[in-house]
Structure 1
């Protein structure tokens, strides 16, 4: 790492005296990190275990939220309704607004990070227990297709879940910077990705498998207990279980965790918040951060449609969602292995002292992500062509879909852990929670808006021609008045054996498929992004550590 040049204290903003000496010491440790001898990860085994637990719990509400669109899909909702629900995940893209509060306000005896981690997790557990008896009703479960889904209620509920998980994430990101030894600091990125992936796996694909009657009958139930309409769990029962898990695990974290910071507050809360926001503003004004923000906010513009709509479309095309859940679960296990391999092989300093280059890895993987998007579009078309064939989908098609998911997850997780490793390397530990949260927030916003925009764009670009037997739109009121008499006529006809004309069952002709059109437009955008932004990423990787510090301190 390049040496950090000194800066006189007179150039620091006013109010910086309220910063604790412990924060200054953290920055000194960061600047001298390359002088620390390399040690094994075993010396940090407790810290790694704690971080894995916290990040796993963080992934649970996110995984449950990702399963909800599949349940909503049964009600034939529009893509724009799915887009409205996608707003629930936006707190992770907005958490920068309250990150300085989490980083600055705490109870010194209880711990700087536990002050926020414990209440946030208790609130998630309590909210899971409260919502469990109501969630199936809000989803319209137990009724027909015409039973409405309370999209607004579901969006607000999961918005609250994501807000609490985002608050916990701010504190855990800060904890990772101080609880790990300097030589193992970048393992925080691995704990983040593996923990969140595992929590997402067991609460998303795990739930969908246990919810599906087909999966349960095929793999879990004895023949005498087959049930063609219900799986082993409902969403309400699943949330009830995780509510108690959250409460129990939070008690363990509160009583047994160690390694938190306990220095007393220096100055008033107002002064601390002012200092935090001032320093955050100084960081945001750095040319390196602005350049990185531009790349992060635009890199997913071409990938949003593949992340938000492809799974829904492939199940709509004919792939059973329980089978897709098995494929995704296998792929996510592989993804965790990929994260471990990439962290050890490419994201640590080698024996010869060569420094890892995470942004190079991220940039070089981008064409592969675009290619996998094209493969996903092709597979949706192929699955749709085999829909309704006798014997179901052919085995070779399952193998191809599984292989494509495995490759996609491996590429995606490699890029994600590379970005997280870069954040851990450049983050200033003196404002650890705020700095990490700022970078993660920008990355999350860059992932959130394309997902939401893609769902609305699919709806806007989808055009159909009404079928010939549909009545004109102006006849809607007259048709409603005639419906009772039509039903009476059918009943009389059945009694006297008179044939009655069957209702129109034709489907509108699709002129422009919104999903296909959005995918093709996204691929063109992706190629343009790669050509324009790839050199910027390489230049950011070459910057010295001093370029990422808001103010430099004499060491």
Structure 2
């Protein structure tokens, strides 16, 4: 992912619409967009505030916008959001990264496909997000009512798995269904926690500093994901730990540590953090929230944003899905990859923080759009790196070049992630914040997920590989369509042959993706994104009458 989460999203201006020329506090044009839908969610207090002329209106009319610094409350909110996103990133890193990596030598591709189902809840959380937004205990808080039990369940599950994981991993082929169930449920409860955290992010920070919500997600989610994926795999590698003289970290010990962290944070949240009081006027039934989602999806500009999300990542699909696999195939070691990512990680956090500052104001999509071209440039560079990849051992100079390329590529990816998250936060309605954010993030994640299947299939389709076997001094060429996969190469080796790739489909697929991405960028994404970010916030909000 980089996860595309749920992983992969700061968002918002308040739901107060800007006043029209008559000072009515509503957008007349928006009122007519959806039959039966009222576009204004203003209370009487909000109408008075809108009529008085808030800073948001000054910005819209071209006046000077006063940007306030971080208050003590904002700083505390940022820390809390980072920790909450961190907790959900840990299970995602395990289910989507490290566990499949550990299982790949023991399971068939079909069995690995079964385990891959564990990632689905994070992509389908929109189905139950209205329940999270509608049902809560007022005495505990709208968001804490879900965050606390979900984190207790996640911590308990990780503790249970830690005591049984060695047995399951020793014989995974006979326990694949149990492994799939355990990690699917773990991701399900983490995804539910994510819905509540996304909604809380809209009200936990002050309006002037809402752009930092996406930074919190970047820092927290990526920290948890990389800790459970790259960092854990490195510390779980005998070669890496022996090289650096550190103890080997087992999966059981890792799960126990994070279960303890999860319990500690949950107890602190329960007793030491109060959530703001909810107005009874803000209560919405589950049916109302589902109808509101449908009304949102019927808005023309929301449909345009959905199309942007579905085509925006096509240009990066081959690079994101295949490049790292090709590097490992060329001989890049697991410990070398871990070092590169560990160096890249703090750079991403710094970039995420400053991008949030860049995304403040009325043009949050500006950094997202500007990062497109350099990111496409790195997608052009990736096939060249694979083509000229040296025979191991890799020299220090080339390894430093890989680190620089990784850091700069992640820079553009992080800028886009924070920028689009800032826009999501800006337009989301706090009344159904978790559901609205989940809706937008679902389509954003889908744009990065659906091309991967076509990319991987395309690489195989365009690849020409044969298995060459020498018998009695003669070389026999055996047709082997599977010679491009680990399984096919293993079968070729079993008959004493060697896989020879005559044409690597990765280059053709990379070219197709970059060309399609560039066409989509200049013909649709840039003009539409500029138009969408110019719309007043009220145009993105609906209320069923």
**TM-score category of the 2 structures, normalised to the smaller one:** 0.7 to 0.9
Question: Partner residue of 2:254?
Answer: 238
> 1:550 and 2:545 equivalent?
no
Matched, 1:536 2:518: no
Q: Cα 1:51–1:503, aligned 2, differ >3 Å: closer, same or farther?
A: closer
Cross-structure match for 1:321: 334
CA contact (8 A) 1:7 1:551 kept: no
Cα offset for 1:331?
Answer: 0.8
Question: Could you tell me how far 1:395 is from its partner in structure 2?
Answer: 0.6
Report SS of the residue matched to 1:465: strand
- 1:108 aligns to 2:138 (yes or no): yes
Indicate the residue corresponding to 2:365 in structure 1: 359
Query: Do 1:124 and 1:164's aligned partners in 2 also have CA atoms closer than 8 Å?
Result: yes
Counterpart in the other structure of 2:128: 98
User: Aligned residue for 2:102?
Assistant: 71
User: Offset of 1:280 from its aligned partner?
Assistant: 1.4
Q: What residue number does 1:337 align with?
A: 350
Check the 8 A contact 2:142/2:278 in 1, yes or no. Answer: yes
Could you list the per-position Cα deviations for residues 442-495 of structure 1 after superposition, in whole angstroms to 9, with x for gaps in the alignment?
212222223344344444544432324599999xxxxxxxxxxxxxxxxxxxxx
Question: What is residue 480 of structure 1 aligned with on the other side?
Answer: none
Q: Which residue of 1 aligns with 2:155?
A: 125
Question: Is the 1:467–1:506 contact (alpha carbons within 8 Å) kept by the matching residues of 2?
Answer: yes
Q: How does 1:114-513 map to 2 (within 5 A)?
A: 114-139=144-169, 148=173, 154-221=179-246, 232-263=248-279, 272-344=285-357, 346-349=358-361, 355=362, 357-383=363-389, 385-387=390-392, 392-469=393-470, 504-513=495-504
Give the count of matched residue pairs.
493
Note if 1:41 corresponds to 2:62. Answer: no
Verify the 8 A CA contact 2:100 2:112 in the aligned structure 1: yes
Residue by residue over 1:8-57, the C-alpha shift from the partner in whole angstroms, topping out at 9 and shown as x without a partner, is 9x9999899xx9x9988789879946279643213322222211110111
Q: Give, in angstroms, the shift of residue 548 of structure 1.
A: 1.2
User: Does the alignment pair 1:3 with 2:12?
Assistant: no
* SS of the residue 2:68 aligns to: coil
RMSD: 3.6
Distance 1:458-1:28 versus aligned 2 partners, 3 A rule: farther
Maintained 8 Å contact 2:122/2:188: yes
- 1:250-283 residue CA offsets vs partner (Å, 9 max, x unmatched): 121122122344445887xxx7111111111111
Once residues 171 and 308 of structure 1 are traced to their aligned partners in structure 2, the CA distance between those partners, rounded to angstroms, is 30
Counterparts of 1:169 and 1:61 in 2: how far apart (Å)? 12
> Which of the pair has more CA radius of gyration?
1
Offset, 1:103: 0.3
- Structure 1, unpaired ranges of 5+: 142-146, 222-230, 350-354, 475-501
**SS of residue matched to 2:535:** coil
Residues 148/302 of structure 1: CA separation in 2 closer, same or farther (3 Å cut): farther
Taking a change above 3 Å as real, the CA distance of residues 520 and 7 of structure 1, as seen in their structure-2 partners, is closer
2:118 aligns with: 88
* TM-score, with length taken from structure 2: 0.80
> Quick one: structure 1 residues 154 and 22, their matched pair in 2 at CA, closer, same or farther if it must change by over 3 Å?
farther
SS at match of 1:466: strand
Structure 1 pair 547/13, CA: closer, same or farther in 2 (3 Å)? closer
1:493 corresponds in structure 2 to: none
TM-score, structure 1 as length reference? 0.79
Q: Which runs of 5+ in 2 are unaligned?
A: 1-12, 21-25, 58-64, 480-492
> What's the secondary structure of 2:501's corresponding residue?
strand
Closer, same or farther: CA 149–513 of 1 in aligned 2, 3 Å? farther
- 3-state secondary structure, aligned to 2:285: helix
The residue matched to 1:193 in structure 2 has which SS? helix
Residue-by-residue CA offset, 1:311-337 (whole Å, 9 max, x unaligned): 233122211111211111211210110
Query: Structure 1 CA distance, aligned partners of 2:108 and 2:245?
Result: 31
- Do 2:469 and 2:495's aligned partners in 1 also have CA atoms closer than 8 Å? no
Instruction: Give the 3 Å change call, closer, same or farther, for CA 189–39 of structure 1 in structure 2.
Output: same
